[in-house]
């Protein structure tokens, strides 16, 4: 197979731009790639001409250009969030052993987009495509918590909140307080809110605009949830949610600290 060196070098330069290093000078790119500075300058000039990078600031710094936004829009139309999330979800299931599922908003409710089965014989099982309420269970409450205020209030006032178990919150005032706590923590834990004897640990998945697109959940029977396991699941769910958020081009500023 024949490789075109100049293309390889251009990709090496573009790969230097990350969430941690969004703006770079020619000198910084030269050090990071090991390329000759004159080569870096020529390639940057060509990439700028094609709007793949652009100059910013008085110090000759560069950042990615508008072309990547256009390409990203094309990719987002093609790639389904569940397809992106599936490998991360499988790794998460291998770590925690419990069912891992992904939910999204659906006409005032939530829908299961994807689920990876638990490794345990006795386990919670969620059917992909199942419609569930938003107000009970951590997966629904995380979706609610990160909605814009107007949209959230519209959903909460749409109809009376149904009580599924003694632990279900049906008072909108109390629910709003719970949602505020979830936003502060960056994750949610629920025990027996929709199903008695079941728990879930959930974190939000964000897009490039910081909007919630899904909630990622670990769920299982309460008898396997020790305090140590709960702490481990919180760390694991936050790490996995950050991974999926990054795959979608988002930032994890709204996720809790593990």
166-175 per-position pLDDT tens digit: 999 999 999 9
pLDDT higher than 80, residue 192 = yes
Task: State the number of CA atoms in the 13 A half-sphere of 217 facing the CB.
Answer: 32
pLDDT at 258: 47
79-247 and 5-74 share a CATH fold:
no
27-72 per-position pLDDT tens digit: 999 999 999 999 999 999 999 999 999 998 766 799 999 888 878 7
CA angle 140, 86, 168 (to 5 degrees): 15
pLDDT at 214: 94
pLDDT at 201: 97
Q: Can you give the residue ranges of every domain in the chain?
A: 5-74, 79-247
User: Whole-model pTM above 0.85?
Assistant: no
Mean pLDDT over each residue of the chain, to the nearest integer: 89
Q: Could you tell me which CATH number the domain at 5-74 has?
A: 1.10.10.10
Q: Provide the pairing of β-strand 212-221 with 109-116.
A: unpaired
Q: What percent of the chain has pLDDT over 70?
A: 91
Question: 133 vs 107, which has greater pLDDT?
Answer: 133
Backbone φ, ψ for residue 217 (5° rounding): -130, 140
10-31 per-position pLDDT tens digit: 999 999 998 788 999 999 999 9
Domain 79-247 has CATH 2.40.160.20: no
pLDDT higher than 70, residue 257 = no
Among the residue ranges 72-76, 118-122, 201-205, the one predicted with the least confidence is 72-76
pLDDT at 76: 63
pLDDT at 208: 83
């Amino acid at each position: 197979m024949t490789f075109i060196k100049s293309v390889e070098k251009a990709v090496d330069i573009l790969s230097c731009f990350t969430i941690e290093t969004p703006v770079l000078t020619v000198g910084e790119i030269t050090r990071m790639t090991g390329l000759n500075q004159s080569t870096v300058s020529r390639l940057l000039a060509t990439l700028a001409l094609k709007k793949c990078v652009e100059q910013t600031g008085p110090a000759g710094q560069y950042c990615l250009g508008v072309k990547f936004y256009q390409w990203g829009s094309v990719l987002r139309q093609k790639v389904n969030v569940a397809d992106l999330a599936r490998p991360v979800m499988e790794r998460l299931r291998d770590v925690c052993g419990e069912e891992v599922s992904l939910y999204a908003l659906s006409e005032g409710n939530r829908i299961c987009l994807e689920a990876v089965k638990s490794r345990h014989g006795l386990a919670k099982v969620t059917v992909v495509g199942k419609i569930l309420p938003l107000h009970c269970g951590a997966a629904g409450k995380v979706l609610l918590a990160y909605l814009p205020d107007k949209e959230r209030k519209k959903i909460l006032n749409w109809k009376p909140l149904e009580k599924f178990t003694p632990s279900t919150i049906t008072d909108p005032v109390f629910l709003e307080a719970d949602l505020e706590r979830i936003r502060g923590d960056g994750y949610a834990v629920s025990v027996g809110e929709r199903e008695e004897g079941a728990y879930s640990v959930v974190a939000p998945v964000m897009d490039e605009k910081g909007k919630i697109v899904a909630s990622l959940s670990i769920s299982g029977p309460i008898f396997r949830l020790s305090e140590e396991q709960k702490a481990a699941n919180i760390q694991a769910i936050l790490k996995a949610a950050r991974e999926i958020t990054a795959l979608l081009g988002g930032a994890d500023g709204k996720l809790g600290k593990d």
